[in-house]
Amino acid sequence: MATRRILEKGRDELLRKRSRPVEKFDKRLWTLLDDMADTMYDADGAGLAAVQVGVLKRCVVIDVGEGLIELINPEIVESEGEMINAEGCLSVPGRRGTVKRPERVSVKAFDREGKPIELKGEGYLSIAISHELDHLDGILYTDKMIEDVTEELREDAAQ
Ligand code: NI
């Protein structure tokens, strides 16, 4: 297991590419997933898509404090409600902005063995799933941002 370099907006155009479906659930994929989790935890992130470490494969790792989730070839099959929250991205370091996301999502995906799985996410997990799945289509949260709140958060932290 190892950490990998995280690509950054404005520097790495790969972030704008559409990722391709995973076809082989092999050791190479497992190494990628292990490295992605290491990289996410090392950077104190709540989620990471493969493209963020330079690999155009449709897989993401997420941990919103409830344990590690790995999603391969994920698809949102249902979404409900909407909410606006501030979020950040490891590829847009030091910044935060508000984005409108669904309150609840249902996802179909595969696990690392290639077994189909289903997952429901609410609240913070719903945000993380929506945010990470956007990465697979080259979309960054800044594309959907309602308001940049980087400065407001800095002021809050200073008080
Ligand atoms: Ni991100």
pLDDT in tens, 89-144: 999 999 999 999 999 999 999 999 999 999 999 999 999 999 999 999 999 999 99
| Predicted TM-score (pTM) of this structure | 0.94
3-state secondary structure of 13: helix
Q: How far is the CA of 46 from the centre of ligand 1 (A)?
A: 9
Supply the pLDDT for residue 151.
Answer: 85
pLDDT digits (tens, 9 = 90+) for 49-91: 999 999 999 999 999 999 999 999 999 999 999 999 999 999 9
Which pair of structure tokens corresponds to residue 59? 């897989």
Residue 110 lies in a domain: yes
Residue 8 lies in a domain: no
Cα–Cα distance list, 86 to 45, 67, 89, 95, 105 (Å): 14, 22, 11, 10, 18
Residue 112 lies in a domain: yes
Residue 6 lies in a domain: no
Residue 1 lies in a domain: no
Cβ neighbors of 121 (< 8 A, separation 6 or more) are 104, 105, 106, 107, 128, 129
Which pair of structure tokens corresponds to residue 132? 């990470």
Residue 154 lies in a domain: yes
Supply the pLDDT for residue 155.
Answer: 75
Number of domains into which the chain is organized: 1
Q: How far is the CA of 42 from the centre of ligand 1 (A)?
A: 15
Residue 20 lies in a domain: yes
Domain that holds residue 90: 13-158
Q: How far is the CA of 134 from the centre of ligand 1 (A)?
A: 8
Q: How far is the CA of 108 from the centre of ligand 1 (A)?
A: 20
Residue 152 lies in a domain: yes
Q: How far is the CA of 90 from the centre of ligand 1 (A)?
A: 6
Positions marked active-site: 132
User: What's 109's domain CATH number?
Assistant: 3.90.45.10
* Extended strands (E) in 20-68: 47-49, 59-62
